[in-house]
């Protein structure tokens, strides 16, 4: 595990958290970035044993060229792919539970990433009481992984129960969704609570922006995870001080 105090300062300088970043030597910025560019910080879990978690993914831009480079050479002509950041959040405490990132087209689906995160939460002795997710998580493997946990996963519009294989629970959820309709289903399942994960992304992007500064796939994904970790650390610190 990387200590927060050791990782915080270099991340602050290289992601613009610290207002002093503009005043220090560019060489120091380079040294700081090299120290943390590949580090994946460990997320501290809440103390509660039972967790209601929501999962979602968002894209971060990889085409940031910097002000001087854009002024001198113009904007890059090649269209760059996004970095996909997938996180899980404790909806009760608005606390980050896990984060993973991959370059668009090179990683697992959001559903597979969520399944792995659910398993990791359970390995830490936590009980997943309920799982919230949008249509990206309407997959057999997700429903299989939930076991006895409740769910509020939005069913895709083209979902059917015709297939002979797959999750029986998912087939039951499809029937329920179609019988109730979206509005009534949303009210009964509390699906609207997943706004906690959307709110996390919104606040994170307001703080750090959507453009990443790294170039290599390994450092791009590390930077995305570091942003989620850094915002969560800031939010936890603010709550503790309130």
Give bridge partners of residue 152 from the DSSP assignment. 132
- Between helix 4-15 and helix 26-36 the angle, nearest 10°, is 130
126-130, 194-198, 209-213: least confidently modelled range: 209-213
- pTM of the complete model beyond 0.95: no
- Asked if 132 and 54 touch (Cβ cutoff 8 Å), the reply is yes
Residue 23 C-beta-side C-alpha neighbours within 13 Å: 3
Q: Is the pLDDT higher at 239 or at 189?
A: 189
Beta strands in the chain (DSSP E): 50-60, 83-90, 95-103, 127-133, 150-153
Overall size of the chain counted in residues: 242
Given a contact cutoff of 8 angstroms between Cβ atoms, the answer to whether 221 and 103 are in contact is: yes
Q: Beta strands 95-103 and 83-90: pairing type?
A: antiparallel
Q: How confident is the model at residue 163 (pLDDT cuts 50, 70, 90)?
A: low
Q: What is the mean pLDDT of residues 95-102?
A: 94
Question: Which CA distances in Å does 46 have to 29, 40, 152, 224?
Answer: 33, 19, 22, 22
Six-digit token pair at 131? 């799982």
* Beta carbons within 8 Å of 11's beta carbon, 6+ residues apart: 17, 36, 226, 230
Distance from the Cα of residue 44 to its chain's centroid: 15
Diameter over CA atoms, the chain: 64
Q: pLDDT for 60-81, tens place per residue?
A: 988 654 554 444 445 555 556 7
End-to-end distance of the chain based on CA atoms, in angstroms? Answer: 27
Measured CA angle at 174 (ends 172, 176), to 5 deg: 70
Work out the pLDDT band at 108, boundaries 50, 70, 90.
confident
pLDDT tens per residue across span 20-40: 444 555 555 556 666 677 778
């Amino acid at each position: 595990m990387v200590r927060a105090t050791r990782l915080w300062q270099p991340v602050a300088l290289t992601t613009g958290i610290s207002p002093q970043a503009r005043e220090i030597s560019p060489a120091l910025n380079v040294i700081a970035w090299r120290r943390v560019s590949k580090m994946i910080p460990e997320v501290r879990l809440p103390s509660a044993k039972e967790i209601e978690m929501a999962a979602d993914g968002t894209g971060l831009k990889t085409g940031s060229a910097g002000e001087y480079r854009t002024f001198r050479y113009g904007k890059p002509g090649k269209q760059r792919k996004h970095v996909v950041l997938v996180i899980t959040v404790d909806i009760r405490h608005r606390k980050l539970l896990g984060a993973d990132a991959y370059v668009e087209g090179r990683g697992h689906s959001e559903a597979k990433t969520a399944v792995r995160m659910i398993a990791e939460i359970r390995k830490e002795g936590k009980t997943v009481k309920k799982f919230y997710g949008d249509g990206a998580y309407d997959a057999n493997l997700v429903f299989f992984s939930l076991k006895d946990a409740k769910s509020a996963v939005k069913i895709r519009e083209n979902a059917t129960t015709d297939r002979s294989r797959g999750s029986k629970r998912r087939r039951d959820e499809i029937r329920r969704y179609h019988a109730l309709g979206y509005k009534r289903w949303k009210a009964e399942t509390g699906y609207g609570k997943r706004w906690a994960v959307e709110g996390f992304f919104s606040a994170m992007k307001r703080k750090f922006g959507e453009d990443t500064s790294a170039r290599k796939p390994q450092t791009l994904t590390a930077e995305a995870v570091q942003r989620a970790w850094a915002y969560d650390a800031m939010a936890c610190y603010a709550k503790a001080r309130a």
